Structure 1
Amino acid sequence: MQRAIILTGASRGLGQALASQLLEPDHHLICLSRSRNDSLAREAADKQVKLDWVTIDLNEVDLLEERIRDIIASIDLSRLDSIYLINNAGVLQPIGPVENNDGVQIADNIRINLIAPMIITSSFIQQTRHLKIDKRILNISSGAGKKTYYGWSGYCTSKAGLDHFTRCVGAEQEELEHGVKIVSVAPGVVDTDMQAEIRASKEEDFKQVQRFIDYKKQGLLYSPEEAAAKLLKVLLSESFPNGQVMDVRDLE
């Protein structure tokens, strides 16, 4: 039997680390991103793991339901004993007080960080509800969903929304005999391109920028590989905590 995993934002950073660690013989990994990662494709070929790459722009939310339907239709569901979804893709911009934020960037942030995972989750549940197998969703959240950060109104709002969406879907699915289990996990401060973007912020736009610069200098950032391992520990746990909002620090 086989496990299928759909992963968004797989081409770099935390998504790339998650994808690499999911390249196991009994896995069928379906990676979604705007660009393909050739090194991952080579790694999958070397390990003889089935990897499909789907080029997709999560900003195009009107197309997502149909795209997920097509992706799941392409999987040999008869051979599966489990199917998982990881909503990992996310953006930070715009940074700065809301009155200085560009309206297009505000809309992009909410579409990619919140609307896209909501639609993908909806379609995933719809297309797998007939399956009497293990079904799980891991939403990658952020501590910004729980704390107030000056200059991150869009990012904080979208991640808070993702957390509460997780709670609501968990409550809905808890009622079903073969429901999907869902959690939202903040991975901690991870050394990715997003962190470099944060450190490049102007102090007038993001007042806590020095704190994040110090995190880097003091070696307090998780590597993408460390964060991915902690997230997959949650995803693959026998006691998957449905409807919960968690932080990787809860696992330490």
Structure 2
Amino acid sequence: MKYVLITGASRGLGEALARQLLREGYHLFCISRRNNENLLHEAQQKNVPLEYVEHDLRDVAGLEQVMRHIFEQIDLTKAETIALINNAGVVEPVKPIEKCTTEELTANIHVNLLAPMVLTSLFVKLAAQFNGDKRMMNISSGAGKRAVHGWSAYCTSKAGLDMFTRCVGLEQEGQDHPVKVLSVAPGIVDTDMQTHIRSARREDFPDVERFMEYKVQGQLLPPAFVAEKLIRLFFEESWPPGGVVDIRDYL
């Protein structure tokens, strides 16, 4: 059995990733603020175990309880693979730093960076006795490699996620049964995040018109297409420990 944990799996890319894994031999745990009834129904039809664990990733203190609940349901004697996909992310606040509130900045860093760090720590700890295939994928962004006006929190959190991936990869290299860890920039995907970006005020986000053009010119990648490539990369391709890659290099 392949057990896969996915954050932010109620919509967008997370939903598409979960749908790609509705296959025989998989057991999914989806951590998100709400359920996706269509996905639950589809999983039931395909006889694939799927459980939504409702949790707001801004509440990082509650993540240990979430992970222990999930691992209590994983039968290590039957497990072939245990995997974690840190997909959930928020772009807000989209405005210059002096306009950002403490609450907005805290929420961004909690969801985009601190929650993946805590989940990774718990994943490595709780899976320590499992000698099979263990792997983890962080969904990052090209914004983690370049500065964007109005995206100070988002760019910073994604840059941090990439460096965190490198550090964990380095730590795992010397382990007898290491966790394979990867950070992937998925490209510009046609999700609700893009809708929010296009609604930003020009004075807060000067690049807003460029993102509008992406939509008009059909340059946004469909979530299902990106999810298929990500899952193939995650489970089938060879990548370096702690690798930080761009999915477009694998298309």
Same fold at TM > 0.5: yes
- Pairwise CA distance, 1:249: 1.2
CA contact (8 A) 1:10 1:16 kept: yes
- Confirm whether residue 139 of structure 1 aligns to residue 142 of structure 2: no
What amino acid maps onto 1:225 in structure 2?
A
Secondary structure class of the residue paired with 1:121: helix
Residue 74 (structure 1) shift: 1.6
| Helix, strand or coil at the partner of 2:175 | coil
Residues in 2 aligned to 1:92 and 1:239: alpha-carbon distance in whole angstroms:
30
Partner Cα separation in structure 1 for residue 13 and residue 160 of structure 2: 21
Q: List per-residue Cα deviations over 1:74-122 (Å, max 9, x = no partner).
A: 2122110111000000111111110011110100000010000000000
Cα deviations across residues 51-77 of structure 1 (Å, max 9, x unaligned)?
111111111111112321221122122
Q: Distance in 2 between matches of 1:203 and 1:29?
A: 40
The structure 1 segments of at least 4 consecutive aligned residues displaced by more than 4 Å after TM superposition are: none
Q: Distance in 2 between matches of 1:84 and 1:241?
A: 17
Which residue in 2 is equivalent to 1:246? 245
2:232 is matched by which residue type in structure 1? K
Deviations 1:7-27 (A, max 9, x none): 000000000000001101100
Instruction: Tell me what 2:92 maps to.
Output: 93
The corresponding residue for 1:23 is 22
Query: What is residue 159 of structure 1 aligned with on the other side?
Result: 158
SS at match of 2:202: coil
Distance in 1 (alpha carbons) for counterparts of 2:55 and 2:240: 30
- Superposition deviation, residue 238 in structure 1: 4.8
Residue range with higher mean Cα deviation, 39-48 or 63-72? 63-72
Q: After TM superposition, list the pairs within 5 Å mapping 1:126-205 onto structure 2.
A: 126-205=125-204
CA separation in 1, counterparts of 2:114 and 2:64? Answer: 11
Instruction: Please report how far the alpha carbon of residue 226 of structure 1 lies from its aligned counterpart in structure 2 after TM superposition.
Output: 0.9
d(CA) in 1 for partners of 2:52, 2:97: 36
Superposed displacement of residue 130, structure 1? 1.1
CA distance in 2, matches of 1:224, 1:241: 25
The aligned counterpart of 2:111 is 112
* Aligned residues of 1:137 and 1:182 also touching (Cα < 8 A): yes
Q: Is the 8 A contact 1:69 1:124 kept in 2?
A: no
Aligned residues of 2:53 and 2:66 also touching (Cα < 8 A): no
Matches within 5 A, 1:51-70: 51-70=50-69
TM-score, normalised to structure 1's length?
0.98
Paired residues, number: 251
Structure 1 Cα separation of the partners of residues 151 and 36 of structure 2:
29
| % same residue | 51
The answer to whether the Cα contact below 8 Å between 1:4 and 1:83 also exists between their aligned partners in 2 is yes
In 1, the alpha carbon distance for the partners of 2:4 and 2:64 equals: 17
Q: CA deviation at 1:236?
A: 0.8
Which residue of 2 is the match for residue 10 of structure 1?
A: 9
Q: Which runs of 5+ in 2 are unaligned?
A: none
The equivalent residue for 1:221 is: 220
Aligned letter for 1:215? Y
Q: Which deviations, in whole Å up to 9, do the C-alpha atoms of 1:147-178 show, x marking residues without a partner?
A: 11000000000000000000000000011010
| Bigger mean CA deviation after superposition, 230-239 or 148-157 | 230-239
Q: Is the 8 A contact 1:94 1:152 kept in 2?
A: yes
Structure 1's unaligned 5+ residue stretches are none
